[in-house]
C-alpha cells in the first residue's frame, strides 16, 4: 500500500521564540534520514513538541529553515501527525474518522473507504468500524488515531507523546504494533516522548535534548536487535541502553 | 426482579416529587378562595380556572394555535438567520468586530418598548407577532452558535491544516458539528423567549393568547387570564420538548450531555 522510502528532514539553524526573552529553540541543527525511526527525548517544556510542529509545518521558525522532502511522493500530503490525545471527531464513526484525511485530500469515496478498511484491519480495529469514539477504550482511540495517520500513506509520521496517557500494558502493546508497522512501511518516524525505555524500544536513533533552549545533549544510535518484542525489554543490552540515555537525560536537565 | 422494582420505585419517585408542590399550591389556593381569605378577582380558585378552560375551550385552543404559529415561525426565522449570521461572524474577524456589538445592543432593547414600532412597520396581526418573536429569540442563537463555532479544539484545527482543508471543510466537517451542542442550548433558550415575544407582539398587534389575556383583563376575567397564561406556558414547554427531542436524536451517540 505504501511506497518504499521515507521523507528526509533537515533542520538548519532553527530558532523559535514564543513571546519571551529566551528562545525555546536556539540555532538547532538536525538531519533525519529517509526511513529512520528517531525519538526526541527531553524534560517537559524543553521544546520537543515545538520541533515536531515545525517539521509538520504547523508552526514556522523565526530564523533558519526546516526542509522535508519525500522523493517518491511529489504531492504535498506526505506528513501525518499523531497528537498526545487521540483527537478523534466524536460524531464520526471509527471508519469515518479514518477516512477523514482522504476526504480532505478529495479522494473518491469508494477508494477512501477501501483504504480505511485496510488500515483498520492492520491496527486490529476492523470490528469497531461502526462505533463512535465514546464507545471505545483509550487504547482503541489511540489505535484509530494511528490508523487515521497511516491512511494517507505518509512518508513522514510525526508522533507527539501518543501513548503517554495510556496504562502500561496498553502502551507496551501499542509500542510493539507501531514498531511492526514501521518495519513494514519504512516511512520516516519522528517520535516525541519523555519515556527513556519507550525511546529505546522503538527507535533506531534517540536524540536527547536539554532544558530550554533545546540543544542536543546526545545523538545516539540504539544498539539493540531489530527483532523487538516483549522479551526485548528484559535483555541486558536494552537495560544498558536505557541507562545510557537516562544519564544523558539527567545531564540535559542540569 | 428486586432491581427492576427499585428502578420502578425511583421512576415513580421522580414523577411524584415535582407534583407535590403543585398539588399543595392548588389545594391552598382552592381552600383560600372558597373560604374568602383570597379574593377571586385577585387569584381565581383553580376550579374556576379549570371551568374557564372547559367553557372557553374553542376560543383558547384557537388562540393557542395562533400564538404557536407566530412563535414557531419567529423561532424558525431566528434559527435560520441566527445560524447564518453566526457563520458570517465566525469566518471574519472584521465582520465580528463590526457587527457583534450591535447584535448585543439589539438584545438589550426591551421587546415591549419596540412592539409599537413593529406594528407601524408590519401592521396588525401575524407579521408583527412573528417579528416580535424573532427579535427576542435571535440573539441567544447567534451567541451560542458563535461560541460553539469558536470553541473548536485547536488540535483538530491543526489536523485539518495538515491536510490543507478548505474553508468549507473547516466549517461543515469540523466547526459546525462541534458547535451543535451549543446550538441546541441556544435553541432551548430561544424557544421559551419566542413564546414570550409572540405574546407581547399579540398584546399590541392582536390575535392569539396575548389578545385573550388583554381582553380578559379589561373584562376582569382573571380566571380566563390564568387559563391563557397557563396555555402560553404549555406552548413554551412543547417547544422546549421538541428541541430536547431533536437534540437527543442528533447528539445521543456522541455527546456527554445526551449520553447519560
What does the pLDDT look like over A85-124, one tens digit per residue? 999 999 999 999 999 999 999 999 999 999 999 999 988 8
Chain B residue at shortest CA distance from A96: B173
Q: What is the DSSP string of chain A?
A: ---S---EEEEEEEEE--SSSS-SEEEEEEEE-TT-EEEEE--TTSSHHHHHHHHTTSS--SEEEEEEE-TT--SS--EEEE-SS----TTS-HHHHHHHHHHHTT--HHHHHHHHHHHHHHTT-GGGTT--GGGS-HHHHHHHHHHHHHTT--SEEEEESTTTTS-HHHHHHHHHHHHHHHHHH--EEEEEES-HHHHHHH-SEEEEE-SSSB-EEEEEE--S-S--STTGGGSHHHHHHHHHHHHHHHHHH-
Is residue B1 domain-shared with residue B97, that is, in the same domain? no
| A vs B: CB pairs below 8 A | 53
Whether residue B87 has pLDDT greater than 80? yes
- B224-249 pLDDT, tens digit per residue, is 999 999 999 999 999 999 999 999 99
| Predicted local distance difference test score (pLDDT) of residue A72 | 60
On whether both B20 and B87 belong to a single domain, the answer is no
**B20 and B72 share a domain?**
no
Q: Tell me the three cell numbers of residue A45.
A: 517544556
Share of chain B above pLDDT 90, in %: 74
Who wins on pLDDT, B54 or B104? B54
Choose the closest CB to A79 out of B153, B162, B256: B162
Distance from CA of A24 to the nearest CA of B (A): 20
Structure confidence by residue, pLDDT tens digits, A31-89: 999 999 999 998 888 899 999 999 999 999 999 999 988 766 656 657 899 999 999 99
Q: In this predicted model, what pLDDT tens digit does every residue of B197-222 receive, in sequence order?
A: 999 999 999 899 999 999 999 998 99
Residue A1: predicted pLDDT:
41
Nearest Cα to Cα of residue B141 among B67, B195, B191: B191
Do B17 and B138 lie in one domain? The reply is: no
Q: Does A81 touch chain B (CB under 8 A)?
A: yes
Please tell me whether residues B5 and B46 are part of one structural domain: no
Same domain assignment for residues B68 and B166? yes
Are the beta carbons of A103 and B160 separated by less than 8 Å? no
- Shared domain check, B211 and B96: yes
Structural domain total, chain B:
2
Question: Which candidate in B154, B161, B163 is best for mutational testing of the A interface (most A CBs within 10 A)?
Answer: B163
ipTM: 0.89
Contacts of B254 in chain A (CB under 8 A): 90-91, 132-134
B256 vs A contacts (CB less than 8 Å): 134
Write down the pLDDT at residue B178: 94
Cβ-nearest to B162 among A58, A91, A103: A58
* Domains identified in chain A and CATH numbers: 1-78+159-254 (3.40.50.300), 87-153 (no CATH)
pLDDT at B41: 86
Are B34 and B153 within one domain? no
Locate the chain B residue with the closest alpha carbon to A55.
Answer: B162
Provide, as residue numbers in chain B, all residues whose Cβ is less than 8 Å from the Cβ of A160.
none
Contact A83 B163 (CB under 8 A): no
Based on the domain organization, do B26 and B127 belong to the same domain?
Answer: no
- pLDDT for A92 equals 96
Domain carrying residue B90: 41-259
Q: Give the residue from B151, B153, B156, B159 with the most A CB atoms within 10 Å of its CB, the best one to mutate.
A: B159
**Are residue B198 and residue B234 in the same domain, yes or no?**
yes
Average pLDDT, chain A: 90
Range name among A12-26, A109-123, B23-37 with the lowest pLDDT average: A12-26
Which chain A residues touch B159 with a CB distance below 8 Å?
81, 83, 87, 100
Mutant choice from A55, A60, A76, A91 vs B, greatest count of B C-beta within 10 A? A91
Name the closest residue on chain A to residue B168, using Cα atoms: A104
Using the predicted structure, report yes or no on whether residue A152 has a pLDDT greater than 80: yes
Instruction: Taking residues B149-157, report their average pLDDT.
Output: 93
* Contact criterion met (CB below 8 Å) for B96 and B104: no
- Asked if the model's pLDDT at residue A2 lies above 50, the reply is no
Taking CB atoms and an 8 Å limit, are B158 and A83 in contact across chains?
A: yes
Residues B13 and B84 in one domain: no
Report the pLDDT averaged over residues A13-21: 86
pLDDT digits (tens, 9 = 90+) for A215-249: 899 999 999 988 898 889 899 999 999 999 999 98
Give the C-alpha separation, B227 to B49, whole Å.
Answer: 6
Whole-number Å distance between alpha carbons of B178 and B246: 16
pLDDT at A24 over 50: yes
Q: Can you give the pLDDT at residue A76?
A: 61
pLDDT band at B260 (very low <50, low <70, confident <90, very high): low
pLDDT at A6: 86
Reply yes or no on whether the pLDDT at B140 is more than 80.
Answer: yes
For the cut 60, the answer to whether the pLDDT of residue B58 exceeds it is: yes
Give the CATH number of the domain where residue B251 resides. 1.10.3720.10
Amino acid at each position: 500500500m505504501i511506497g518504499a522510502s521515507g521523507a528526509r528532514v533537515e533542520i538548519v539553524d532553527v530558532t523559535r521564540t514564543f513571546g519571551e526573552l529566551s528562545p525555546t529553540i536556539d540555532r538547532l541543527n538536525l538531519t533525519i534520514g529517509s526511513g529512520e525511526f528517531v525519538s526526541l527525548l527531553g524534560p517537559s517544556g524543553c521544546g520537543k513538541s515545538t520541533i515536531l510542529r515545525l517539521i509538520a509545518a504547523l508552526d514556522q521558525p523565526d530564523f533558519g529553515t526546516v526542509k522535508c522532502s519525500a522523493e517518491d511522493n511529489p504531492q504535498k500530503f506526505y506528513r501525518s501527525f499523531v497528537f498526545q490525545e487521540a483527537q478523534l471527531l466524536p460524531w464520526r464513526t471509527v471508519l469515518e474518522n479514518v477516512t477523514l484525511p482522504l476526504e480532505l485530500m478529495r479522494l473518491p469515496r469508494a477508494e477512501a473507504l477501501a483504504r480505511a478498511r485496510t488500515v483498520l484491519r492492520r491496527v486490529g480495529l476492523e470490528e469497531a468500524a461502526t462505533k463512535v469514539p465514546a464507545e471505545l477504550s483509550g487504547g482503541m482511540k489511540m489505535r484509530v488515531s494511528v490508523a487515521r495517520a497511516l491512511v494517507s500513506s505518509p512518508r513522514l509520521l510525526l508522533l507527539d507523546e501518543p501513548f503517554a496517557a495510556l496504562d502500561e500494558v496498553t502502551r507496551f502493546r501499542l509500542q510493539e504494533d507501531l514498531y511492526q508497522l514501521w518495519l513494514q512501511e519504512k516511512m520516516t518516524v519522528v517520535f516525541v516522548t519523555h519515556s527513556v525505555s519507550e525511546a529505546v524500544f522503538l527507535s533506531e536513533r534517540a536524540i536527547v535534548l536539554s532544558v530550554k533552549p533545546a540543544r542536543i545533549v546526545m545523538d545516539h544510535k540504539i544498539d539493540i536487535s531489530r527483532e523487538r518484542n516483549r522479551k526485548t525489554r528484559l535483555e541486558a543490552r536494552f537495560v544498558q541502553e536505557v541507562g545510557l540515555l537516562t544519564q544523558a537525560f539527567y545531564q540535559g536537565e542540569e | 426482579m428486586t432491581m427492576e422494582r427499585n428502578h420502578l420505585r425511583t421512576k415513580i419517585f421522580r414523577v411524584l416529587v415535582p407534583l407535590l408542590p403543585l398539588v399543595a399550591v392548588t389545594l391552598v389556593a382552592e381552600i383560600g378562595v372558597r373560604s374568602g381569605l383570597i379574593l377571586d378577582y385577585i387569584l381565581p380558585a383553580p376550579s374556576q380556572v379549570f371551568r374557564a378552560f372547559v367553557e372557553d375551550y374553542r376560543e383558547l385552543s384557537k388562540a393557542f394555535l395562533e400564538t404557536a404559529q407566530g412563535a414557531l415561525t419567529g423561532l424558525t426565522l431566528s434559527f435560520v438567520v441566527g445560524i447564518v449570521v453566526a457563520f458570517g461572524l465566525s469566518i471574519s474577524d472584521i465582520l465580528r468586530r463590526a457587527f457583534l456589538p450591535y447584535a448585543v445592543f439589539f438584545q438589550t432593547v426591551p421587546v415591549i418598548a419596540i412592539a409599537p414600532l413593529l406594528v407601524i412597520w408590519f401592521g396588525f396581526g401575524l407579521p408583527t407577532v412573528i417579528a416580535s418573536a424573532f427579535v427576542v429569540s435571535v440573539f441567544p442563537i447567534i451567541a451560542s452558535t458563535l461560541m460553539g463555532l469558536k470553541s473548536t479544539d485547536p488540535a483538530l484545527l491543526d489536523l485539518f491544516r495538515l491536510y490543507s482543508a478548505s474553508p468549507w471543510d473547516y466549517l461543515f466537517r469540523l466547526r459546525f458539528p462541534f458547535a451543535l451542542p451549543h446550538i441546541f442550548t441556544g435553541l432551548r433558550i430561544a424557544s421559551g423567549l419566542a413564546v414570550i415575544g409572540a405574546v407581547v407582539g399579540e398584546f399590541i398587534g392582536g390575535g392569539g393568547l396575548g389578545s385573550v389575556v388583554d381582553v380578559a383583563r379589561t373584562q376582569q376575567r382573571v380566571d380566563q387570564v390564568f387559563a391563557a397564561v397557563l396555555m402560553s406556558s404549555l406552548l413554551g414547554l412543547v417547544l422546549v420538548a421538541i428541541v430536547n427531542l431533536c437534540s437527543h436524536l442528533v447528539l445521543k451517540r456522541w455527546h456527554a450531555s445526551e449520553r447519560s
